[in-house]
Amino acid sequence: MKPRHFITLNDLSADELRGIIQRAIELKKMRAEGKVYEPLKNKVLAMIFEKSSTRTRISFESGMIQFGGSALFLSPRDTQLGRGESIRDSARVISRMVDGIMLRTNDHETVTTFAANSNVPVINGLTDRFHPCQLLADLQTWFEQRGDIKGKRVCWIGDGNNMCQSYMNAAKQLDFTLAIACPAGYEPERELLATTASHVELFNDPPLAANNADLIVTDVWASMGQEEEQKKRKKDFANFQVNSTLMALAKPDAMFMHCLPAHRGEEVSATVLDGKQSVIWDEAENRLHAQKALLEFLMK
């Protein structure tokens, strides 16, 4: 039987997605109550990181340990992947020895090729195009505080990057509106804009997008791998900071989210990031609970 993978949010149905979010909320409660629950005893998750990580690594590793299993941290530098062994061969070999594989890679295609050649579930832990695990945590954070997100207005400010594109998929899946404000030239992929057009509005002006929003989300101006563009991006994104003036255009009870790491004074002011409307610490913690729900769904 072919395993289920989680490469983008579109690998789950809307019902499955809602189920995983609700399960994440339950698992969070069970952990707070000190309940021991080990559905993945003796199971192993391999984690391949081509890029740095704090939250993704620690949440997957802790989640596996809490579930009675274990996780292997694999860097291409120390495996034959870094010496040119093909992705297909590596996927075939690794998937014969472990029960699940999580990858964080530069190219999205590395993850899709890996999944096509793996006998066990493959999870996208971030690529240049998508970061679906972060969306599970963001959605959990919304659902646990406000209920279903259907019909709400979410605003994305900044780069049309992997996080923005994951929000586009989420909008279509869970039936909310995503108003995006990007500087010209930093829009999301055209094809994705076309397939999500029913749920996405695109602006080049932050106030227009932020107007009446229930949730405002942003991310760094230069993602991992774009370090050399930092200077140019700082100029191009100068008017795209989420600050108190912009937050004031959203609904009075609007929440603010950021996947982190954040740069205070660049994409978000310290006042907003550390302010009352910000839910970034719950959002970060929920990586643990949401991914445990995902691991249980894919690997149990």
Residues found near ligand CP in the complex (CB under 6 A): 53-56, 126, 134, 259-260
88 has catalytic annotation: no
The first and second tokens of residue 180, run together, are 């995006």
Q: Write down the least CB distance from residue 179 to ligand NVA, Å.
A: 19
Between 122 and 290, CB nearer to ligand CP: 290
What is the rounded distance in angstroms from the CA atom of residue 166 to the CA atom of residue 136? Answer: 10
**CA gap 26, 260 in Å, rounded:** 24
Judge whether 104 counts as a catalytic residue: yes
Q: Which of residues 143-172 bind ligand NVA (CB under 6 A)?
A: 161-163
**Which residue lies nearest ligand NVA, judged by its C-beta?**
223
Look up residue 270 and give its two tokens: 């310290």
Q: Which one from 5, 23, 55, 104 is the annotated catalytic residue?
A: 104
Q: CA nearest 257: which of 234, 246, 273?
A: 273
Structural contact between residues 147 and 167, judged by C-beta atoms closer than 8 angstroms: no
258 is catalytic: no
Active site residue 219: yes
> Cα(111)–Cα(184) distance, rounded to whole angstroms?
29
Show contacts with ligand NVA in window 55-114 (CB under 6 A): none
213 to 2, 166, 179, 192, 249: CA distances (angstroms) = 41, 18, 8, 22, 8
Closest CA to 216 of 284, 277, 283, 155: 155
Closer to ligand CP at the Cβ: 170 or 199?
A: 170
Binding piece for ligand NVA, criterion CB under 6 A, among 1-9, 101-109, 217-225, 246-254: 217-225
Question: From the candidates 219, 241, 258, 291, which is the catalytic residue?
Answer: 219
Nearer to ligand NVA, 67 or 240 (CB): 240
Query: Is 259 an annotated catalytic residue?
Result: yes
Phi, psi of 153 (to 5 degrees): -115, 115
Cα dihedral 285, 275, 125, 61, rounded to 10, equals -30
Residue 259 interacts with ligand NVA (CB under 6 A): yes or no: yes
Q: Which is nearer to ligand CP, 54 or 80 (CB)?
A: 54
Return the number of the residue (43 or 55) whose C-beta is nearest ligand NVA. Answer: 55
Does residue 96 carry a catalytic annotation?
no
Residue 144 binds which of ligand NVA, ligand CP, none (CB < 5-8 A, kind-dependent): none
CB 1: neighbour CB atoms within 10 A? Answer: 4
Which residues belong to the active site? 104, 131, 134, 219, 259, 287
Which residues here bind ligand NVA, judged by CB under 6 A?
126, 131, 161-163, 219-220, 223-224, 259
